[in-house]
Structure 1
């Protein structure tokens, strides 16, 4: 991705990067706008010019996390490539992203805040739901091509993600388990894709 050219855009990016670091390391309550401003190398007023409150900044930080992770899975559906090959590529990217400690740390903070302050999480979830994630889009295209059974593509995508997250996300976020070991990534992806195709693949495809 190209670096922002305008000074105001560069400052905004620096604020978001600093906020992600501070929220990840210290959590929501212990993070202050002063600390974020100092780390970003801008004034506190500049932070508030971009984000009216810490809640707004936290929400935008999580949105950036979601968009960056979703964009990593935006592989286009291809009619000329076997479904299994395409799904394996997407799920390898997914598992690699979930193994990133920074991602896991910030996700842990987000989930903790959703538990203690659900009113803060609701508008964030609503904004996330406005963007259809790449795997869902891919499934929709494969259904339209007749290679996957018809049905709700979001339901199918959630099941596929759930197979991966059961070992590579939830134990790490909720129990503090280490990121999934590299030698377990390939078998996990292979099993998740195999189970998905066994149920959803169209027999006539």
Structure 2
């Protein structure tokens, strides 16, 4: 007969082992998902959306086609996950809290730099080009995909509202002010970087300074 203390110890050990197995499986599943996403990015960039296949993505990712479908039900579902993951990385650069002690220019520059995260690396720049081409070629598909992600301006809008509450900025429409700011960033920096394969980013500093100054001149309170 097993005495109660030993039995409890065995049960506790079994519980720990079960949790360890679950944790390892969860980690393995997450790693497999990331490998598939990375493979999908490579295939999408090289072949485009229409020509890309789940078979090719599985091959590049080094997993079975069944594994790909276990994680993503369809190519469209996988594409949406690629977009979500890409924008999540961008948004992680943007949790910039409004500061009363730092200049508006310094904080605005940080938001602009966070936006440039999407195109300041060859792989991310390639993915940005690919996504832009997909959304331009198929407007309705682009709307559907973008409609499933949160507003890219959310963090900045919160910052703008805080700056206005602090008496530093003045605007009637926070949405319009955010649109103007990102229009300046995209028009002056993002698209130039895409068209020049990143070469234009070497000259970004004076452009950043000027566009931030332009925004503050329009919305700043003297």
Gaps of 5+ in 1: none
Q: Hey, what does 1:177 align to over in structure 2?
A: 196
Q: TM-score, normalised to structure 1's length?
A: 0.85
Aligned-partner Cα distance in 1 for 2:53–2:127: 16
Distance verdict in 2 for CA 1:99–1:180, change over 3 Å:
farther
Closer, same or farther in 2 for the Cα pair 1:119/1:168, shift >3 Å? same
Count how many residue pairs are aligned between Structure 1 and Structure 2.
198
SS at match of 1:127: coil
Q: Which residue of 1 aligns with 2:186?
A: 165
> In structure 2, do the counterparts of structure 1 residues 187 and 132 end up closer, same or farther at CA, with 3 Å as the change threshold?
closer
Match of 2:7 in 1: none
- Which position in structure 2 is the counterpart of 1:32? 53
Looking at structure 1, the residues matched to 28 and 120 of structure 2 have their Cα atoms a distance apart, in angstroms, of 33
Distance 2:129 2:157 in 1: 24
Aligned pairs for 1:40-119 within 5 A: 40-95=61-116, 97-119=118-140
> Once superposed, what is the RMSD of the aligned Cα atoms?
2.2
Partner of 2:211: 192
Q: Distance in 2 between matches of 1:68 and 1:22?
A: 20
The offset of 1:202, in angstroms, is 2.0
Farther off after superposition, 123-132 or 152-161: 123-132
Alignment check: 8 A CA contact 1:164 1:188 kept: no
**Secondary structure of 1:20 counterpart:** helix
**Aligned partners of 2:199 and 2:178: how far apart in 1?**
21
Over 3 Å counting, the alpha-carbon distance change for 1:77 and 1:120 in structure 2 is same
- Aligned pair partner of 1:21 in 26, 42, 48: 42
Q: Contact (CA 8 Å) 1:95, 1:185: kept in 2 or not?
A: no
Q: CA deviation at 1:180?
A: 4.2
Q: Which has the higher contact order (CA 8 A, sep 6+)?
A: 1
Query: 1:159 offset after TM fit, Å?
Result: 1.2
Which is further off, 114-123 or 130-139?
130-139
Could you list the runs of 4 or more consecutive aligned residues of structure 1 that deviate by over 4 angstroms after TM superposition?
none
State the partner residue of 1:154.
175
Conservation of the 8 A alpha-carbon contact between 1:22 and 1:36: yes
Shift of 1:132: 4.5
Distance in 2 (alpha carbons) for counterparts of 1:80 and 1:87: 14
Q: CA deviation at 1:156?
A: 1.3
**Closer, same or farther: CA 77–180 of 1 in aligned 2, 3 Å:** farther
Larger Rg over CA atoms: 2
